[in-house]
Amino acid sequence: MLNKFKLISRTKVISVVIVGASALLSACSTDSIVGQAKLPNGVADPELVKTPAGAIRAYAGALARLMPAYNCLIPAAGSISDELLSSSYGGPIGYYGPSYYTYLDSRNITERELNSTRCYSEVNAIRTQTRQAVGLLTDYPSPHSEAYIGHLRAVEAHAQIMLAESYCSGIPLSTVDYNGDYTLKAGSSTHQILESSLTLADSGVAMSADSVRILNFAKITRGRVLLGLGKFRDAANAVAGVPTNYAYQISYTTSEQTFARATGNSWTYTVGNGKGGNGIRFFSNADPRSSAVQIGTATSAFGQPIYYPDKFNRTGTTPFIIASGLEARLIEAEAALSDKDYTTYLEILNNLRRTAISPAMSDTTDPGNDDARLDLLYYERANWNYLTGKRQGDLRRLMRLYGRDQDDVFPSGQYLGATGSFGTAVSMPPSPDEYAFNKHYAGCLTTSE
Amino acid sequence: MNFQNLVVHGIAVVAIVAVPGSVVGASQRSIAMDVSVNSVLNTAKVRPGTELIGAFQSTADRPVASKKISLRLNNVSLQQVLDEIAKKSGIDLMYSRAIVPVSKKVSVNLDSVSVIEALSKVLEGTDVVPRPSSNGSVRLVRKETSDIVEVQQFGSISGRITDSASGNGIAGVTVEVKAIKRNVLSGQNGSFLLNDIPVGQYNISLRIFGYVPFSKVVDIVEGERTTLNVKLSPSATRLGEVVTTATGRQKKVELGNSITTLNVEEIMKTSPARTVTEILDGRVPGLTVQQSSGAPGDPARIRIGGIGSVNRSNDPIVIVDGIRVVGPQSGTEGRNSAVTTNWAVTNNAWAPSAIDQIDPNNIESIDVFKGPSAATLYGPDAANGVIVITTKKGKSGPTRVSIGGEYGLSSIPGKTPTAYFAKGTIRYTDKMAFCTAANRSVCTADSVAEYQLLNDPARTIYGSGNSSALTTSITGGVNAIQYSLTASVRDEVGILKLPDAEKAWYKDVTGRNAPSWMKKPLGLKSWSLSSMFGADINDKLNVTLSTGLTKQEQRRSSIENQIGRLMRSFIGEDGTIYSAEIGDMAEQQRAVRDFFQRTTSNSTNFRGNAALNWRPLSWFTAVANTGINTVGRTDGFIRPRGLQVQEESLDTVGAYNRGEVSTANNTFNLQGIVQNDLKWGFKFRGSLGANYFSTENRTLTVTSTNIPVGTNGIGGANVIARDQNTDEATFGWYIEPQINHKRLWFSPGIRFDGGNTYGSSIPLFRLPKMSFSWLASDESFFPEALKPYISSLRLRTAFGQAGRQPGPTDRLRLYTQVGNQSTVSTLGNTALRPEKSSEFELGFDIDMFEGRFTMDATTHHKTTNDALLTVPLPPSIATSSGSPRITRNIGKVRNTWSEISVGLIPVQSMMATWTFNVNMSTMNNKLVSLGKGVEPFNTISSPGNWEIRVAEGYPVFGLWTRPVIGYSDINNNGFIESTEILRGDSLVYAGQQSPKYTLGGNSSLSLFNSSVTMSANWTYSNGQTIQQRYGAYFLRGNVDPNAPLEEQATAILNSTATGLIQTVSVFELGGMAISYRLPHNIARKFKSNNVSVSLMGSNLGIWSSYVGKDPGVNSVVDNESMGTSDSGSLPRSRNWQLRFNLNY
């Protein structure tokens, strides 16, 4: 019996030891053993942004997103319109084929085929960041938080205008929710996007009343939205009081801006000079508002001279002006034309020619009929707003609101490069990734307006 | 009481006195007695009711019982009196508390009486009397049995059992004296002792699975200890091999897993392998090694069972002597550091992986655990398998010295494929250009030429290299101390060279001759020092200390990055070099333009660990193991100012980058193992252990441009410095009971793991395991007719889970902080948890014809159900970092692979032995599910005509291209243009990045009693899809408009937009060696016991369908998603080595 006793006894001891040790280990907290995690010092602590000062940094971060978006969108909108032409090789489709901007140049853009992720992402990043910043400013307020929020609402509206003017009808306004998940959405029509932008711009105007600088930006943004909706008089009222010399501009470091940087005698683009036959001859017409200079003797892949716009410094240090008093006056001129107040219309245009540039330009004359007046207005807009990312929106508005044919307003006919002729695109589709990864997204509602 | 009872009593006493030379206290004696008695009672089959006898062990010398003592004690227990008598007399007292009333109160007052008299006095009134024994001890027995005890005489037997090949002690050998039904198991170092054996002649038998049984007749002499030292020879079956597992060393037969064990000492004798990855290559079924370059020290990527994780590392972890070392082989960590910021510093030149800094000359064996079913208990990140390295141990006996040296030469084997060029004119610009299928519509070709600069002796950068190495090892030991010391040095010079024309150009520009590092830009120097000291403090405690130190200096150069361009460069009739980029015909200023960029990497890899093995009880062992592994690395990249080649490039202003990285891994393991015999023949072995592991990384990088003329430093330059530190720690514990019944071993287990991932605290997560092994051939019902042929047949199965932690910041929504701006850059997912891989494996092992034929086969099924996927999100929610991504536990990945290993010894005699081994494996990897609502996505930055894609139903990171619908010369101009190729709208699957089938084999032939040995090894793989980025240049149809239309179409379809994507089969003759052991009389002239010389060759031949140079160097080690892109990788060199070995 003693052997059996010993056997059982040892088994019991072993069992007790194992159970006891297991219980002890089970009771151990991982945190108490491995310690609290520390963030890598290359990663900013996300908690730091959850303070009033952090919220203001997030606000500044939202404003900073405008630069990369415009750095991308100005040449994109310029290429699909008559402002710019790619100077790179225009070979056939393939690995060494035409660049992204050559597709834009020739308006040969089809949905899903184009690698247009970068611009599209940059514009949407403004929206994402403004929402985060608004959430932070709300939760962690400081004395000027309301004005900052108003500013951000206007900036978000501005970003939506960029989508409405440059991208096809049917862009989704998905959101990254502050302190939460994200919400993917189906496409909104251009009209819906503008309506949504109007709400944001209204909020921007209402909340930024104590800052003239921000208020003027919000007003111009609101006017631009109303202009897109065809509410010309409302648009004019919205921008009333914005000084003509007002400018909302983006400054940046040289390394941030790549669009206007020219190396030696080469530049990625050349200024459009009668692109497609119907484009404005930005170089040849010698208009001081959009003057250009030929750099060296270098030519594009198609043998064309490379023209560089005077308004930019070739080192890439000239700020981008994204909203201005000039724009406000031109909105007022369009409202006057819409009201058939031709005198006011012409006076606004000539007043700008006399006062908004030095030396002053000579007056223009009333062309005599509404179609020609509209042409003149948009010619003036094209020159005043040269390379500010607005030309494509202007041309599309001519189609959408004034019934112009796309081949009349966009470059058309024989394209200089090997792709043959101009296509029919008037807008850019969203990134192929939107089709792939947004289950609610079904594509452009229309690509012809 | 009869005679058998007395014998049993003797066993009990023997076990107690086996405690070496110690005077133990009463409580310790009691414990020792219980254990010893219990451990032998089962084997002795004592009847119930047997009385136990306690014992006092005194000093080693045995005083006679007549020694005089004095004693004065009043009203104390009889126990205290007996203690005092034993203490004063120094005599052994043996008794059972069952018969001696030890608590009885007694008083004694004795002066100078004998021990016997004293004992008789104090035992008055009891039925116990003292009886002196022949060995000098005194037993306290009942009066009625005392007469019988006197008739018996005893002796003892001891010795050490060692492996005949390695000389290492063998633990667990059953030493049995059948005649008296006595047995004992040998200890850790192989020693054993059986005491108090009645005198006489006995047949002693030794048995342990895996060795040939041994028996011998010995004489047991009264009062003497007979010595029996035995060298056991391994038996034919390999199931007796010992494997180092997470819970200690176990025999293979006990484990239900397919574990490959490599005897590195043997491999190194007959193989030119110089690193751990070279040793593993082709020798482990299911394990593949991919290399990115043939440069000395370039890291290789190891995959076991293919790719299992989409998002996290697929590298197996590496354990050396029980501690986890810095072991990543791919990703940024594979470049010998665990941080990510060194790319700028090293300019894409990767330093050796830490795993290849382990000196193979100091490795005894490598065990490869291939997946979760075998690796569960190894803890976090073991889902990709575990490579367990055991370093050399010392051997007791005379000091042995071994010296090995070698010298080798290397060169590029074979030729680079010829490239085709068509000179022509661009239609719009009238510029000269190289016409290809891609630009044929705008380029008019004049002529077609064939050329390959890399084969041009005057211009090629391929030259010859050399290597030398020296290794010395010293092993030995005295009694309880063993030691092993290994020192190695190696110096390699790579095959790249600077062509004469470039040397001349350099002199023209600088006025100086090119320095030697430009002329021979690749190199690797290293030295290693390893040591191991083991000490048996006593029979219950031993301590092991081991260290390894390796210092390496690697030189790389951007000249290596030029290969892709050089192999598509064209030389004009006037000697002008043109870069054949499609669309222009640009004259190159230099054929080799970046040779003045130098990258150096100096690293120090130190490993130190201490292990404590304590066996306080025969059934309990405690093991503590702690260690540290540090890798310190300094990288430098220099491009001197002023060597202007490209306008406004770094060539003009120069650049100097420097990075310092230190990584420290800390491991602490604690483990308890209990063993117990249960009823009905069951045996129990249980392990309970805990692991703590932490890794700390410190990185400082400095990048600078615009460096002053004539300097090689950052003084006066534009400098950007950046530091990055990370600390991670994990903790886990496990329990693994193992039940054994004769031929069956069943072992379930579970591990709990947790870590300090950022963002939220993670609770311990559970990882279960199970293993079952059945040695069917030892069953009684196994057909007798088969036994002469089948040595062993085992069936086995196993299941297990292992995990991978999410990335350290995957849970967090992160904001990028630049100046006064914060922008959201990463969305984060607070719900993330570790992904778990579950593996089920099933297999068998069979050994036949006395080991002349062996085979094992295993099939593995590994599934990761909650795979971490970093999936793209639509850009409508873009952040400042561009297209957003988020990590989720949504994927399901399945890896299935099967492997067969066959060993054959066709000839086995003293004169000649021929062995033949081959292993085969098939690998299938499939992404079963991406998760609801997640679309297939591309993992490269520029999607287009080809992608590396993650898609349901296909291998992870498969290559995809657009399908070809057809082609036609639509415009009837006589040649095919790219616009005349019709391709599908969507991409289709082209192939997987890892081979589907692999085969590795080796054979050796030993002649004349092993004085001459010849060996060869080879590998074969099939089903790997590789992208040769510049494959178009190797196809005539790509440039020749007069080539058959089909050939043109093929070239365009497969190369223009995608590079040449090809699924290849590759046969490689990896190495051959011939060794000759000099006759002893010649060896003695070197004062050596043994001298051998060997001639070894590696990379001797490649037979492949690959269009390109070397299909074996195609992996981009830097990125998990990129594996098989060859854009001009440096081919592996062919090496010949002359090696000598001297043993003293």
Inspect the interface and report whether the beta carbons of B809 and A21 lie closer than 8 Å: no
Kindly identify which residue of chain A lies nearest to residue B685, measuring between CA atoms: A14
B332 pLDDT band, cuts 50/70/90, is: low
Task: Note the pLDDT tens digit of each residue in B153-209.
Answer: 778 888 889 887 777 778 778 888 877 878 787 876 788 888 878 888 888 988 776
Q: Which residue of A has its CA nearest to B36?
A: A6
- Paired sense of beta strands B988-991 and B981-983, if any: unpaired
Q: Searching chain A, which residue's CA lies closest to the CA of residue B684? A: A11
Closest chain A residue to B695, measured at CA: A34
Does A42 sit within 8 Å of B724, measured CB to CB?
Answer: yes
- Contact: A120, B875; criterion CB under 8 Å: yes
Residue in the block written with tokens 């019996």: A1
Q: Cα separation of B967 and A18, whole Å? A: 73
Q: How confident is the model at residue B62 (pLDDT cuts 50, 70, 90)?
A: very low
Measure CB to CB from residue A129 to each of B686, B823, B883 and give the nearest one. Answer: B823
Quickly count: other Cβ atoms within 10 Å of residue B232's Cβ: 22
**Poorest-confidence range of A13-17, A80-84, B1111-1115?**
A13-17
Q: Smallest CA–CA separation between B956 and chain A, in Å?
A: 18
Residue B532 exposed, middle or buried by CB count within 10 Å (0-12, 13-18, 19+): buried
The whole-angstrom separation of Cα A110 and Cα B180 is: 94
Pick the closest to residue A384 from A440, A313, A333 (CA basis).
A333
CB neighbourhood size of A110 (10 A): 12
For the ranges A286-300, B16-30, B536-550, B801-815, which has the lowest average pLDDT?
A: B16-30
- Cα–Cα dist A197/A203, whole Å: 10
Of A3, A111, A414, which to mutate for an interface test with B (greatest number of B Cβ within 10 Å)? A3
Residue B325: left (phi > 0), alpha (psi -120 to 50), or beta?
Answer: beta
Q: How far is CA A38 from the centre of its chain?
A: 37
Q: What is the DSSP letter of B590?
A: -
- B48, B582, B731 member nearest A1 (Cβ): B48
The answer to whether residue A60 neighbours chain B at the CB level (below 8 Å) is: yes
Q: What is the pLDDT of residue A186?
A: 96
pLDDT at A93: 35
d(CA A122, CA B879) in angstroms, rounded, equals: 8
- The pLDDT of residue B39: 30
Select the residue from B876, B985, B1033 to test the A interface by mutation, using most A Cβ atoms within 10 A. B876
Option in B647, B730, B821 nearest A57 (CB) = B821
Cα-Cα-Cα-Cα dihedral of B818, B824, B830, B835, to 10°? -80
Q: In angstroms, rounded to a whole number, what is the distance separating the alpha carbons of residues B939 and B930? A: 14
What Cα–Cα distance (Å) separates residue B480 from each residue in A358, B229, B372?
A: 99, 16, 38
DSSP state of B209: T
Structure tokens at B1095: 């001639």
Contacts of A121 in chain B (CB under 8 A): 875, 878, 882-883
Q: Which of B259-268, B397-406, B483-492, B643-652 has the highest mean pLDDT?
A: B483-492
Chain A nearest C-alpha distance from B361 (Å): 36
Q: What is the mean pLDDT of chain A?
A: 87
Please report the beta strands in B790-832, taking only residues with DSSP state E, as ranges in sequence order. Answer: 790-804, 814-818, 821-826
B820 with A60: Cβ contact below 8 A = yes
Q: To the nearest whole angstrom, how far is the Cα of A132 from the nearest Cα of chain B? A: 8
Q: Does B1053 have pLDDT greater than 60?
A: yes
Highest mean predicted confidence (pLDDT) among A68-72, A417-421, B942-946: A68-72
Q: What pLDDT score does B428 carry?
A: 65
Q: What pLDDT was estimated at residue B219?
A: 86
Predicted pLDDT of residue B809: 80
Q: Which two tokens stand for residue A67?
A: 């630069």
pLDDT given at position A116 = 66
Q: Which residues in chain B touch residue A438, judged by CB atoms under 8 angstroms apart?
A: 874, 876
Place of tokens 């790249």: B496
**What is the token pair recorded at B39?**
């451990």
Contact B871 A437 (CB under 8 A): yes
> Cβ contacts (< 8 Å) between A314 and chain B: which residues?
none
Contact A437 B752 (CB under 8 A): no
Is A40 part of the contact surface with chain B (CB cutoff 8 Å)? Answer: yes
User: Which chain B residue is nearest to residue A91, measuring alpha carbons?
Assistant: B439
**CB contact (8 A) between residue A120 and residue B723:** no
Q: How far apart are CA B41 and CA B48, in angstroms?
A: 10
Q: How much is the average pLDDT of B213-218? A: 84
Sorting pLDDT into bands at 50, 70 and 90, what band is B27? Answer: very low
Write out B504-536 in H/E/C secondary structure: HHHHHHHCCCCCHHHHCCCEEEEEEEEEEEEEE
Among B427-431, B576-580, B642-646, B779-783, the range scoring the smallest mean pLDDT is B642-646
Whether B978 and A94 lie within 8 Å, measured CB to CB: yes
Helix (H, G, I), strand (E, B) or coil at A344: helix
Residue B169, CA distances (Å) to B188, B189, B253, B321 in order: 7, 5, 19, 18
One-letter amino acid for residue A412 of the chain: S
Name the minimum distance, in Å, from the CA of A434 to any CA of chain B. 5
Distance from the Cα of B1025 to chain A's closest Cα (Å) equals 20
Neighbours of B771 (CB within 10 A): 24
β-sheet bridge partners, residue B1071: B1017, B1098
Mind listing the pLDDT tens digit for each residue in A139-154?
999 998 999 999 999 9
Interface test with B, best of A12, A41, A43 (most B CBs within 10 A): A43
Q: Please, which pLDDT band fits residue B1065 given cuts at 50, 70 and 90?
A: very high
Peptide bond into A359 cis (omega under 30): yes
Query: B935: which chain A residues are within 8 Å (Cβ-Cβ)?
Result: 436-437, 439
Task: Choose among B46, B674, B764: nearest Cβ to A3.
Answer: B46
Q: Is the sign of the CA dihedral B450, B454, B458, B459 positive or negative? A: positive
Q: Does residue B477 register a pLDDT over 50?
A: yes
Provide the token pair at A38: 């520390």
CB B907, CB B326: distance < 8 Å: no
ipTM score:
0.90
Q: Which of B960, B961, B991, B966 is nearest to B980 (CA)?
A: B966
β-strands B174-177, B182-185: how paired?
antiparallel
- B413: Cβ contacts below 8 Å, ≥ 6 apart: B1099, B1100, B1101, B1102, B1131, B1133, B1134
Task: State the Cα–Cα distance between residues A280 and B533, nearest whole angstrom.
Answer: 87
Task: State the alpha helices, DSSP H only, in A167-260.
Answer: 190-207, 212-228, 232-239
Cβ atoms of residues B24 and B616 within 8 Å = no
Nearest Cα residue in chain B from A163: B876
Which tokens belong to A294?
Answer: 């030929």
Interface test with B, best of A96, A167, A196 (most B CBs within 10 A): A96
Nearest CB partner across the interface for A4, out of B48, B883, B945: B48
Read off the pLDDT band of B333 (50, 70, 90): low
**How many helices (H) and strands (E) would you count in chain A?**
16, 10
pLDDT top residue among B840 and B654: B840
- In B, which residues are within 8 Å of A56 by CB distance? 820
Of A39, A303, A439, the CB nearest to B933: A439
Burial class (CB in 10 A: 0-12, 13-18, 19+), A298: middle
Share of chain A above pLDDT 90, in %: 62
**Which residues on A lie below 8 Å from B727 (Cβ)?**
37-38
Q: Given pLDDT bands bounded at 50, 70 and 90, which one contains residue B831?
A: confident
Spatial distance between the Cα atoms of B229 and B233, rounded to a whole number of angstroms: 13
